[in-house]
Structure formats: structure tokens, C-alpha cells
Amino acid sequence: MSNSIELTQVSARHGATTVLHGVTVSIPAHQVTAVTGHNGSGKSTLLGVLSGAHPPASGSLRRSHSGRAALVVQRSEVPDALPITVRQAVAMGRWAHRGAWRRLTREDRLIAELCMDRLGVTGLADRRLSTLSGGQRQRVLLAQGLAQQSDLLVLDEPCTGLDAEAKEQIAALLAEESARGVTVVHATHDPEDAAKADHHITLSNGRLLIDITELRVRWSWREMRSPTAATGRGCRFANACQVPRRAGGPGVKCAARAAAHCR
Ligand SMILES: Nc1ncnc2c1ncn2[C@@H]1O[C@H](COP(=O)(O)OP(=O)(O)OP(=O)(O)O)[C@@H](O)[C@H]1O
């Protein structure tokens, strides 16, 4: 298994605050990687680093993919009042190839139509982006990400606000993309979404807590024994408990103990 991106001891900051601390992780090429962790654990920042949008403050980053990553950000970060139609929004994905506001070719428009079709938003093509529901807009942003035809697709919580059927469709679509040779990384709060990925990493307070690529489980027992109720989020290890049990191998023993910790 080759790696698309290798991070070694990477730290990242927002202003003066360091929010990622010495993260060392390999993102496997042509596979789907899920990034989990509680709110504020650093998922979006890590996605920014992986996509090249957020330069690391220290550490090294090696990429083997070509071209620019397609980064699809959270729904809430898209201006509500952007006065463009769905078709225009998806076609903007082609700017990655043509340049912003440049005239698009027939091929660009065809690719945009195909991406709208894949995300089931063709019927919304002439609607203003600002008039869509949250889930519809989420699909449009995904279509825009696909239209970039990058070999690295980085998605920040792509299933937030989607119903169960739509989540299944997105998971299938991400699997299709990885089968086509695209490296996919997505952040999620949903353990079921994470379990569908080929590779699963979990962040805690800006540090890598768990990496299921090689069935390595990296958490400190001291941290495990700390009172989870104090976080106010239920069990911090909920994701960790599920993945190693499913994955089998060396993680199982740890996972069983983590599961006991959750009960
Ligand atoms: N633009 C910013 N300026 C200052 N601090 C920021 C900024 N963006 C994020 N942070 C801080 O960085 C830390 C990590 O944030 P990040 O958005 O990466 O976490 P996250 O795991 O994606 O969270 P969530 O699940 O809530 O989306 C948090 O403490 C957050 O407050």
C-alpha cells in the first residue's frame, strides 16, 4: 500500500495558538481515510494541512499526488447569499483547471453536468444556491469538489445534515472515487461513516490518538483512565471502541478494554 501523504511531527497554528501538536500520520493512496475526534480536536485544521490550504508551522509533509487537492469545506462556511445558481456553483469546480472567472469549455460544462447527476442535484441546476436546504447545498458542494477532478479529495464533514439514504449514497460515491484512484480524506462525527472508511484516524486535543491504518492503537492508558464525564461529551473513546473491534487484529484487546471503559 503506497501513501499519498506523509506527515511527520507536524504542528499547525491558528494565530498564536498551536492546535495540532506533532502529528505523524500516513494517508494511504487510493483509499478512503476518515478523521474523527471531538469538536475542536483539530480535524478541520488537519484537513487544511493535508490539502495544502493551511501551511504547517513545523514538521514535514510529503505528498505523492499531483496537482491541487479538492477541498470541500463545511456547509456553514459557505456564504448564504452567494448570488449564483447550482449549475454555476458546480461549474466553479472547473476553475481549478481554467482559472477563476475564465470561460469554461464544453468539456468543463459536461463534467459539471455529470457531477450534478452523480450527486442527484440536476433537478436543482437553475435554483439559486441560497434557496437550497442544508442537505441540498451539501450535495452541491460535493458535486463542485468532484468537478475539480483532483486525485486528492478532502471533505470536511460531507454527511452533516444529510438523511440516512443520502449518507449511504455519499459513502458509496467516496468508495467509487477511491476505486478510480482518488485518495479521499473526510472528517466525520458519525462512527458509522468512519467505520465504512478503509483507514480511520482519531484526533484528541490536536494530537493523534488512534491510527487504524496498521491496526496501531495509540492512546495512553493514563488518558483512558481520566474521567470521560468531565469532557461533557460522553465517552471520548466511542469511535475507538468500535473500529478496532470491527477491524480485528492487535487492536481488539485494547478495544475490548476501551469498550468496558465506555460502559
Ligand atoms: N480561524 C481560527 N482562528 C483561531 N482559532 C481557530 C480557528 N479555527 C479553528 N480554531 C481553533 O483550533 C482548534 C481546532 O479547530 P478545528 O476547527 O480544526 O477542530 P474540529 O475538530 O474540526 O472541530 P469541529 O468538529 O467543531 O468542526 C479549536 O480549538 C478552534 O477553536
Atom from ligand 1 closest to the CA of residue 20? 14
pLDDT tens digits in sequence order for the chain, 263 residues long: 576 899 999 999 999 999 999 999 999 999 999 999 999 999 999 999 999 999 999 999 998 877 789 998 875 445 666 688 999 989 988 877 766 666 778 888 999 999 999 999 999 999 998 888 888 888 999 999 999 999 999 999 998 878 888 888 899 999 999 999 999 999 999 988 898 899 999 999 999 987 775 444 444 334 444 434 333 333 334 344 333 333 433 333 344 344 333 32
Give me the residue spans of the domains in the chain: 1-67+151-214, 75-150
| Cell numbers at 157, concatenated | 464533514
Q: What is the CATH number of domain 1-67+151-214?
A: 3.40.50.300
CA of 256 to the centre of ligand 1 (A): 31
Q: Which strand (E) or helix (H) includes residue 49?
A: helix 43-51
Atom from ligand 1 closest to the CA of residue 74? 27
